[in-house]
Structure 1
Amino acid sequence: MPRVVVLTNPTSGKGRAARVRDEALPRFHGAGWQTTALTSRSADDALDLARVAAAERPDVLAVCGGDGMVNIAMQALAGTGVPLGILPAGTGNDFARYFDVPLGDPAAAASRIVHATTRTVDLARIGERYFGGVLAAGFDAVVNERANRMRWPRGQMRYNLATLAELRVFQPLKYLLELDGEERSVEAMLVAVGNGPSFGGGLRITHGAELDDGLLDVVLIKPLSRRELVRTYPKLFDGSHVNHPQYEHHRVKRVTVACAGIVGYADGERFGPLPLTVEAIPGALAVRA
Structure 2
Amino acid sequence: MKTVFVVNPKAGKKRNIDNIISTICQAAEKHQKDIETYITKAAGDGERFVREYCKTNGKARFIACGGDGTLNEVVNGAYGTLGAEVGVMPLGTGNDFCRNFPHQQLFTNAEAQLFGEATPCDIIEYKTEYAGVNIKRYGVNMFNIGFDCNVADMTAKMKQKPLISGSLAYFLSILTILVKKRGANLIIELNGVEKHRGPLLLNSIANGCFCGGGIKSNPTAKVQDGVMDVNIIYNISRLNFLSKLPFYMKGT
Equivalence for 2:132: none
Equivalence for 1:64: 65
**TM-superposed deviation, 1:9:** 1.2
Equivalence for 1:185: 197
1-structure distance, mates of 2:249, 2:105 = 17
Q: Are residues 20 and 230 of structure 1, via their aligned partners in 2, closer, same or farther at CA, if it must alter by over 3 Å?
A: farther
| Greater CA drift, 12-21 or 207-216 | 12-21
Q: Are residues 25 and 234 of structure 1, via their aligned partners in 2, closer, same or farther at CA, if it must alter by over 3 Å?
A: farther
8 Å Cα contact 1:61/1:83 also seen in 2 = yes
Amino acid at match of 2:2: R
Number of equivalent positions? 237
- What CA RMSD, in Å, does the superposition of the two structures yield over aligned residues? 2.4
1-structure distance, mates of 2:79, 2:138 = 8
- Aligned counterparts, 1:139-178, within 5 A: 139-150=147-158, 151-152=160-161, 153-170=164-181, 173-178=184-189
8 Å Cα contact 1:54/1:77 also seen in 2 = yes
**TM-superposed deviation, 1:16:** 1.6
Q: Are residues 13 and 22 of structure 1, via their aligned partners in 2, closer, same or farther at CA, if it must alter by over 3 Å?
A: farther
Equivalence for 2:228: 216
8 Å Cα contact 2:106/2:112 also seen in 1 = no
Matched, 1:11 2:22: no
2-structure distance, mates of 1:179, 1:120 = 24
**TM-superposed deviation, 1:140:** 1.0
Amino acid at match of 2:71: V
Matched, 1:232 2:234: no
SS of equivalent to 2:123: strand
Higher RCO (CA 8 Å, separation ≥ 6 residues): 1
**TM-superposed deviation, 1:158:** 1.1
8 Å Cα contact 1:137/1:192 also seen in 2 = yes
Amino acid at match of 1:22: S
8 Å Cα contact 1:194/1:209 also seen in 2 = yes
2-structure distance, mates of 1:124, 1:193 = 8
2-structure distance, mates of 1:217, 1:193 = 6
8 Å Cα contact 1:3/1:60 also seen in 2 = yes
**TM-superposed deviation, 1:173:** 4.9
Equivalence for 1:130: 138
Higher strand share: 1
Q: Are residues 37 and 172 of structure 1, via their aligned partners in 2, closer, same or farther at CA, if it must alter by over 3 Å?
A: closer
Show CA shifts across 1:42-67 (max 9, x none). Answer: 13322221123334245521111111
TM-score with structure 2 setting the length:
0.83
Amino acid at match of 2:143: L
2-structure distance, mates of 1:237, 1:158 = 13
- Aligned counterparts, 1:1-289, within 5 A: 3-16=2-15, 18=17, 19-55=19-55, 56-57=57-58, 59-80=60-81, 81-100=83-102, 102=104, 106=108, 108=109, 110-127=110-127, 128-150=136-158, 151-152=160-161, 153-170=164-181, 173-183=184-194, 184-185=196-197, 187-240=199-252
Percent identical pairs in the alignment equals 26
**TM-superposed deviation, 1:180:** 1.8
Structure 1 unaligned segments of length 5 or more: list them.
241-289
Equivalence for 1:248: none
8 Å Cα contact 2:4/2:37 also seen in 1 = yes
| Greater CA drift, 149-158 or 131-140 | 149-158
**TM-superposed deviation, 1:3:** 2.5
**TM-superposed deviation, 1:121:** 1.0
Q: Are residues 181 and 115 of structure 1, via their aligned partners in 2, closer, same or farther at CA, if it must alter by over 3 Å?
A: same
**TM-superposed deviation, 1:188:** 3.0
SS of equivalent to 1:220: strand
